[in-house]
Amino acid sequence: MDDKEFDKLMNSYVAGPAKGKQSDLQKFRASQPMQKRTRQMPKLAWAAVAVVLVVAVSLAIVLPITLTDKAPDEGMRFLDEKDFNRQDIDFSEIQSTYVGTYLLPTVESFEQTGQLFVSIKNANKVFGVEVSSFVYDENFIDVKYAITDYRYKSYRHFEEAPLSEVWNTYNIKFNRKDVSGFCENQIYFTDGKYHYYLMVNTFEEMPINQVLDLLFDKKTGA
């Protein structure tokens, strides 16, 4: 580029539109009250942030409390998705009330504890009993059994026990475990209406029919 060309270019630049008078930005700035705009928007934003912060802090305090207080069970128990409570009851009362309803073991024992399964959802209906018996005779250490209208979720695997026998008219499913010092027998059967789950600890391994014969008095109809 020679000097002549350069001069021509520079002259045309100088002769162009005046800076700050025709640009869109300048037109926009000239038409708006700048101060007012910049103050209104932050106020709105900070108000929103303050509200959200209050909510956030509240959630941060409340949520951990509700999340960490696990298992607020309040003594509630569940059996087959049916809410129920336990209710302490004398074994003698279980005997007198349910002897014609349930097939109750009659083996002699030193002490028994009894509890009723009481439905919460269904007007406090009793739908089962659990009894723990301290036997400690020549055969048994202790016997625990649950009799319920429903399948007993905690011991449902009893129903899949690998061994089976027929005892009287009942199809018995059972499992034996050799634990140090004793034999643990898990027994399940149903009479078509109620489900029977028995946990019987014996000193030695015994035939399951013998175990049941000793547990139940045949005169009761078993």
Partner 1 sequence: MNKLKTVNKYALAFILLAVFLIAAALPIFAANPIEANADEMAFCDDLSYLDGTSNGYTTEEIKYATKKETSFFAHPTFPDYYNTNSSISNTCANSAGANVLGYYNRYYSDLIPGNNVGAIRGDMYYYFPMAASTSIKQGVINTLYTLMGTNTPAPGTTQAQFKSGMASYVKGKNKTITYTNVMSNSKFSVDKAKASFDKGEPIILYLSGYNLTDYQDVNSVYKLYKYDFTANHMMVAYGYSKIEYYDSSSKLVKTIEYLHIAACKSETGFVYLLNGYGTMVDAEAAKIS
What residues does 92 pair with on adjacent strands? none
Q: How far is the CB of 194 from partner 1 (least distance, A)?
A: 17
Measured from the CB atom, the residue of 6 and 78 that comes closer to partner 1 is 78
Q: How far is the CB of 39 from partner 1 (least distance, A)?
A: 13
Distance CA(176)–CA(198), nearest Å, equals 12
Q: How far is the CB of 93 from partner 1 (least distance, A)?
A: 15
Measured from the CB atom, the residue of 119 and 133 that comes closer to partner 1 is 133
Q: How far is the CB of 28 from partner 1 (least distance, A)?
A: 7
Cβ neighbour number for residue 209 with a 10 Å cutoff:
13
Largest Cα span, the chain: 133
Q: How far is the CB of 5 from partner 1 (least distance, A)?
A: 40
Distances (CA, A) of 4 to 9, 12, 14, 177: 9, 12, 16, 111
Residue type, 68: T
Q: What are phi and psi of 80, to 5 degrees?
A: 50, 45
Measured from the CB atom, the residue of 27 and 218 that comes closer to partner 1 is 27
Distance CA(58)–CA(46), nearest Å, equals 18
Residues that bind partner 1 (CB under 8 A): 28, 32, 37, 41, 44-45, 48-49, 52-53, 55-57, 59-60, 63-64, 67-79, 81, 85-88, 109-113, 115, 130, 132-134, 136, 141-142, 144, 152-157, 160-163, 175, 177, 179-182, 184, 186, 199, 203
Measured from the CB atom, the residue of 112 and 190 that comes closer to partner 1 is 112
Beta strand 126-134 with 140-148 is antiparallel
